Chain A
Amino acid sequence: MNSELGIKYLLPEISLVASGIIALIIDLILKGKRKTPVALWNLFAIVLTAGFVITRWSISGYCMNGLARLNAVTNLFDMIFLATAFFTVLLSISYLERVGYSYGEFYGLLLFSVAGMFVMASAADLMVFFLGLELMSIPLYIMVGLFRTRKESNEAAIKYLLMGAFTTAFILYGIALVFGATGTTRLAGIAQALASGRDIAQSVIFLLAMILIIVGFAFKLALAPFHMWTPDVYQGAPTPLTGFMSVSVKCAAYAALIAVLAAMTPAAKEWTILLQFLAIITMTWGNIAALRQNNIKRMLAYSSIAHSGYILVGIVSYGNAASSHLSLSTVVFYLVVYLFMNIGAFAAAMVVAGEKDERYHIDNYRGLSRRKPLLALFISVFMFSLMGIPPLAGFMGKFQIFYAALKANMVALAVIAVLNSVVSVYFYLRVVLFMYMEKGDQPAKEIHPTLVELAVISLFALCIIALGLFPSVIMNVITNAVAGL
């Protein structure tokens, strides 16, 4: 485990940053309006990076003098980031051209952001984690404000930036206090220091540090009551980017959170209580607020808050030694499922939004099943999966989460989680209801999905069905990776 790995194992990160710079250069060279070559280069870079990740799959150890940690689970997270980025680029090509904001930097920034996620997921030191966080976030602030002539896009960017600054402050202050309490920022060192004497884990300064760091995470993960920015930012950002943020930013933050929590195992009792509390508020708030939304993007934003809460339920059971492996694989599996459901849902919302990118109101879904039966069917698959209706992937994900919670003896938490998923039925069902049971008034010609968009959406819907029927395909990979820790 402790073998020092050479720099060649960092090829994925290097290739991401390098490709990002190349993407910016290509963008400079290209004179015309069409930025498709940059996007194609991006796709190529992502596939290349994925290849590099696969070559280091079975490697486990520390890099860069113990600052980064590589193992099968971090690689798994890396693959999730890459998959999300890949589909985001695919969807962005037509979308950005349609709305007339086809900027090449978008693609370069996306790669930088993914590199930041890589760093976050494999950080073995709080400072490295912090660097990764910033590398991930700063490109996102720019991309959220991409539509610079739109008011809501500017609002979103400023909100996101300010909230990001808060997050940074909380986390930095927390890290400083951790350093004060334990004398190190290395995760392994923190674990050692905590294990050596109970009094550090119980000391006020350490508890305060832990709370600050968790609050910082809560901002990034959009956990209630630190979620206020989410609906506005998700609404204002370009739709493919919203899908990207809702999945991979969360995924990166969860990856880092798990590593940080693992280092703080001696204080597991304390953070379990804290996270349990956050999970309950997040699920309930997210679901109840989503009931009132008429804008599909806002509804999905609140739904993503609620799902963040479900994932947190899985993480809460991580503190229980008996179920920590189970809980980790549960969380990773849920994130994979969530990737398909959420990006699929946002992609569909993007298609329905039409030429002018403005048809996000639920009224625009009236009678969609008559005009675009296939699209309506796929949206229904996403909605039923988000509800957690079997035999779709969303059910399998939730099923595992509930299982992990019950296994860790958290019955009350599990009961609140399932009741929440009943509440969520209402607003997901509403979309289906508008599509199938209401009479439509808009002409169909406004919706022109391109071939790529349709292919991505149908691929995701099929994946959801396939993962619902045969979850073991992915689950085995995950459990093997987790077991190797």
Chain B
Amino acid sequence: MAGALILIFLPKNRESLLKWVALIISVLSFLLSIRLFTLFDGSQAGMQFVEHSGWLTFGDFRIDYHLGVDGISILLVMLTTFLTPIVLLSGWTTIKERLKEYLVFMLALETGMLGVFLSLDLVLFYIFWEVMLIPMYFIIGIWGGARRIYAAVKFFIYTMVGSVLMLLAIIFLYIQYKTLDITQLGGLINLPLDTEKWLFAAFFLAFAIKVPLFPLHTWLPDAHVEAPTPGSVILAGVLLKMGTYGLLRFCIGFFPKSAYYFKTPIAIIAVIGIIYGALVSLVQRDMKKLVAFSSVSHLGFVVLGLFAANTIGIQGGIIQMVNHGLSTGALFLIVGMLYERRHTRMISEFGGLSKSMPVFATVFMITALSSLGLPGLNGFVGEFNILLGSFTSIFYNNKVYAIIAGTGVIFAAAYILWWFKRTMFGSITKEENRKIKDISLREMIYIVPVLILIIWIGVHPMTFMSKTEATVNKLADKINRELGLKEPEKLNRLNLQIPSGTRDSLPGHSAMGDEKGSEARR
């Protein structure tokens, strides 16, 4: 993404020019990624569109510029390029100070995130992983709220702690296998469990902090609350997915034996995250905090699905990553819109807004329902698959996790709907809220695509899931093979059929979803 470089050389005072150039660049990269998506062959399990050239030989090291997409990364790449222009639009008027730096950082951030998802070389992956810290640090620290400095430093240091140990694990793998190629390493790694456990732990810590899993999540609310709206959206929408992506690609893909070894604590942590995040959301007075804690809960689901380590659980996890990116991203956009109008994020400051801003209320409604997993919208597809996956998982071999996690959905409904009720319904208590402006055209432009995708995934998830299926099947097979887990033949077939099963059962749901949508619109 040479776009960021172009921006640096543009004059500082031509603000609108800068904004348009940045927007055009990001839209361009989105269009390119659509082309990538349509050309991507979902029936192949391996890497596609591989770009490989030697970058440097450094001492003993050969670090390659090696990029490619497979079923795991394609959706995340799409998500990244999709959200970036939206985010740029959302900060169109609110970011006035040091606009040029902001845009440069945003595009640099996009580059870093895409690099993380695309890298097929471990060191290259690590470099992108770390590089993206710098722009995010500045975005939170310069354009953030009152405690922005604290949040930015906390964010930076938390992430560093995890990632440096991962670096050591990467070097260790290189010493063992003399390659940094991610596609090859997956098949090569065959270490005694004692060693593997430590490597797994090093990778896991890095990703668990990023996700963030339950005891390591404390940086997230701070970072979210203090970051400006575009920062929050990118953070929730894409950055956190780097953690879950890493868990899937490396922790599960590289070290299935250790993943199996650690499955119980991880599942417990994930379930605690689901329930804890939901309960804490319930009592938040600050809307951004509410959404931040709901992220903790949603990502608990993702991790639970991924570590179910069967096709359906992993696919559910991947689709849920995208869902979370869309719905939580949209929720942050909505909070941002309210904040732009009233300069407060306290729930108590609002009430009865559906009267003064009906269109906004509809948008909010759809997003909220998607976030709580209403059938027919995207959240349902992900959560249903995850629960089904972990319920049938041979890996866990324990149905309790899925059952407890299922209650998390109820809590989600509770906190989201309660929040919605308190802000949108009831009588208008504050005089300012009576004259509040409804959603503007610019806001519509960036929120509507998100809503379209929310409904699209809800109604017809196969467009997206078919792209991931082959890769995930291969991964699940590999895990079962390596662990010697005999997955009963019929169950395996059942797993394969379930995505299509969801498809068959969906028209009914979608009708329901549409009904709700139109109801809300009325």
Chain A residues in the interface with B (C-beta under 8 A): 326, 329-330, 333, 384, 389-391, 395-396, 399-400, 402-403, 406-407, 411, 414-415, 418-419, 421-422, 425-426, 429, 433, 436-438, 470-472, 475, 479
Q: How far is the CA of A433 from the CA of B58 in the complex (A)?
A: 32
Is B149's CB under 8 angstroms from A418's CB?
Answer: no
Given A418-B164, A418-B165, A422-B161, the answer on whether A406 and B172 have CB atoms closer than 8 Å is yes
CA distance A18 to B122 in the complex (A): 52
Query: Which among B126, B141, B149 is the interface contact of A390 at CB below 8 angstroms?
Result: B126
4 A-B pairs closest in CB distance:
A418-B164, A390-B127, A437-B141, A472-B56
The answer to whether B60 touches A326 (Cβ under 8 A) is yes
Q: Please, which residues of chain A bring their CB within 8 A of the CB of B157?
A: 422, 425-426, 429
Q: Bound state CA distance, A333 and B59, in angstroms?
A: 10
Q: Report how far A84 CA is from B61 CA in the complex, Å.
A: 28
Q: Could you list some 29 contacts between A and B, CB below 8 A? A: A390-B126, A390-B127, A390-B130, A391-B127, A391-B131, A395-B127, A395-B130, A396-B58, A399-B123, A402-B171, A403-B59, A403-B174, A406-B175, A411-B168, A411-B172, A414-B168, A419-B161, A421-B160, A425-B157, A426-B157, A429-B137, A429-B153, A433-B149, A433-B152, A437-B141, A438-B149, A470-B56, A471-B58, A472-B57
- Taking the closest CB of chain B, its distance from the CB of A39, in whole angstroms, is 35
Q: What is the minimal beta-carbon distance from B122 to any residue of chain A, in angstroms?
A: 12
A residues less than 8 Å from B57 (CB atoms): 472
Please name all residues of chain A whose beta carbon is closer than 8 Å to the beta carbon of B123 when the two chains form the complex: 399
Q: How far is the CA of A399 from the CA of B59 in the complex (A)?
A: 11
Complex interface residues of chain B between 130 and 152 (CB less than 8 A to chain A): 130-131, 133-134, 137-138, 141-142, 148-149, 152
Are B171 and A422 in contact, with the CB atoms below 8 A?
Answer: no
CA distance A475 to B58 in the complex (A): 7
Contacts of A418 in B (CB 8 A): 164-165, 167-168
Q: How far is the CB of B198 from chain A (nearest CB, A)?
A: 9
Q: Are B164 and A429 in contact (CB under 8 A)?
A: no
Instruction: Closest B residue to A396 by CB, please name it.
Output: B58
> CA A479 – CA B61 in complex, angstroms?
12
Inter-chain contacts of A438 with B (CB < 8 A): 149
Inter-chain contacts of A395 with B (CB < 8 A):
127, 130
4 more contacts with CB within 8 A, not counting A403-B59, A471-B56, are: A395-B127, A415-B168, A429-B156, A472-B58
Q: Report B521 CB to chain A, min CB distance, Å.
A: 43
Per the bound structure, the CA–CA distance linking A399 and B124 in Å amounts to 13
- A403-B62 Cα distance, complex, nearest whole Å: 13
Q: A389-B131, A437-B148 are in contact. Are A402 and B168 (CB under 8 A)?
A: yes
The closest CB in chain A to the CB of B158 belongs to: A422
Q: Which residues on the A side are within 8 Å of B160 (C-beta)?
A: 421-422, 425
Which residue of chain A has its CB nearest to the CB of B138? A436
One of A333, A390, A406, A415 near B131 (C-beta < 8 A):
A390
CA distance A403 to B130 in the complex (A): 18
Is the CB–CB distance between B133 and A389 below 8 Å? yes
Query: How far, in angstroms, from A330 to B59 measured CA to CA in the complex?
Result: 8
User: Which chain A residues lie closer than 8 Å to B148 at the CB level?
Assistant: 437
Quick one: which of B48-81 are within 8 Å of A by CB? Answer: 56-61
Give bound CA distance, A329 to B60, whole Å: 11
CA distance A396 to B58 in the complex (A): 9
B311-347 interface (Cβ within 8 A of A): none
The residue on B at minimum CB distance from A415 is B168
| Contact among B61, B142, B164 for A437, CB-based, below 8 A | B142
B residues near A333, Cβ cutoff 8 Å: 59
Distance of B188 from chain A, by nearest CB (Å):
18
B175 contact set on A, CB distance < 8 A: 403, 406-407
Render B284-328 as a binary contact track against A, CB cut-off 8 A, 1 for contact.
Answer: 000000000000000000000000000000000000000000000
In the assembly, what is the distance between CA of A419 and CA of B202, in Å?
A: 12
B133 contact set on A, CB distance < 8 A: 389
From 2 to 60 in chain B, residues with beta carbon under 8 angstroms from any chain A beta carbon are 56-60
Give the complex CA separation of A278 and B381 in angstroms.
57
Shortest CB distance A275–B (Å) = 20
CA–CA, A330 and B171, complex, Å: 15
B251 to chain A minimum Cβ distance, whole angstroms, is 19
Cα A411 to Cα B83 in complex, Å, equals: 41
Q: How far is the CA of A391 from the CA of B58 in the complex (A)?
A: 14
Please report the C-alpha to C-alpha distance between residue A166 and residue B171 in the assembled complex, in whole angstroms. Answer: 41
| A422 and B164 contacting across the interface, CB-CB below 8 Å | yes
Contacts of B60 in A (CB 8 A): 326, 403
A415's contact among B59, B126, B149, B165, by CB below 8 Å, is which? B165
Give chain B residues whose Cβ lies under 8 Å from the Cβ of A406: 168, 171-172, 175
How far does the Cβ of A396 sit from chain B's closest Cβ, in whole Å? 7
| A433 lies within 8 A of B56 (CB) | no
Q: Which residue of A lies closest to B174 (CB)?
A: A403
Q: With a CB–CB cut-off of 8 A, which chain A residues contact B172?
A: 406, 411
Cβ-defined contact, A436 with B164, below 8 A: no
Among residues of B, the one whose C-beta sits closest to the C-beta of A400 is B59
Chain B residues contacting A391 (CB-CB under 8 Å) are 127, 131
User: How far apart sit A128 and B56, CA to CA, in the bound complex (Å)?
Assistant: 40
Contact of A389 among B59, B61, B130 (CB under 8 A): B130
CA distance A389 to B133 in the complex (A): 9
A30 to B131: give the CA distance in the assembly, Å.
52
Closest-CB distance, A416 to chain B (whole angstroms)? 11
B164-A419 in contact (CB<8A): yes
Q: Is the CB of B168 within 8 A of A437?
A: no
Closest Cβ–Cβ distance, residue A378 to chain B (whole Å): 14
Q: In angstroms, how far is the closest chain B Cβ from the Cβ of A295?
A: 20
A176 to chain B minimum Cβ distance, whole angstroms, is 39
Q: For A407, A421, A436, which residue has the most chain B Cβ atoms within 10 angstroms?
A: A436
Q: Which of B58, B60, B130, B138 has the most CB of A within 10 A?
A: B58
With a cutoff of 8 Å between Cβ atoms, the chain B residues found around residue A329 in the complex are 59
CB closest residue in chain A, given B162: A422
Q: Provide the residues of chain A in CB contact with B165, threshold 8 Å.
A: 415, 418
A333 to chain B minimum Cβ distance, whole angstroms, is 8
Q: How far is the CB of A368 from chain B (nearest CB, A)?
A: 13
Q: A389-B134, A402-B167, A407-B175 are in contact. Are A437 and B149 (CB under 8 A)?
A: yes
Q: Is there an interface contact between A425 and B156, defined as CB atoms closer than 8 Å?
A: yes
Knowing A415-B165, A419-B164, A425-B157, say if A326 contacts B130 (CB, 8 Å). Answer: no
Query: Which residues of the partner chain B approach A475 to less than 8 Å between Cβ atoms?
Result: 58-59
Cα separation A192 to B157 with both chains bound (whole Å): 50
Q: Mark B399-430, 1 if CB is under 8 A from A, else 0.
A: 00000000000000000000000000000000
Contacts of B134 in A (CB 8 A): 384, 389
How many angstroms from the CA of A389 to the CA of B134 in the assembled complex? 9
Residues of B near A433 (CB, < 8 A) are 141, 149, 152-153
Taking CB as reference atom, which chain A residue is nearest B153?
A429
Query: Which residues, 377 to 414 on B, are CB-close (under 8 Å) to A?
Result: none
A389-B131, A390-B130, A415-B168 given as contacts; is B152 within 8 A of A437 (CB)?
yes
Q: Which of B59, B127, B152, B174 contacts A479 (CB 8 A)?
A: B59
Chain B residues in 8 Å Cβ range of A403: 59-61, 171, 174-175
CB distance A436 to B141 under 8 Å? Answer: yes
Per-position contact with A for B171-188: 1 when CB-CB < 8 Å, else 0?
110110000000000000
**B148 → A minimal CB distance (Å):** 7
Which residue of A is nearest B133, CB measured?
A389
B164/A426 in contact, CB under 8 A:
no
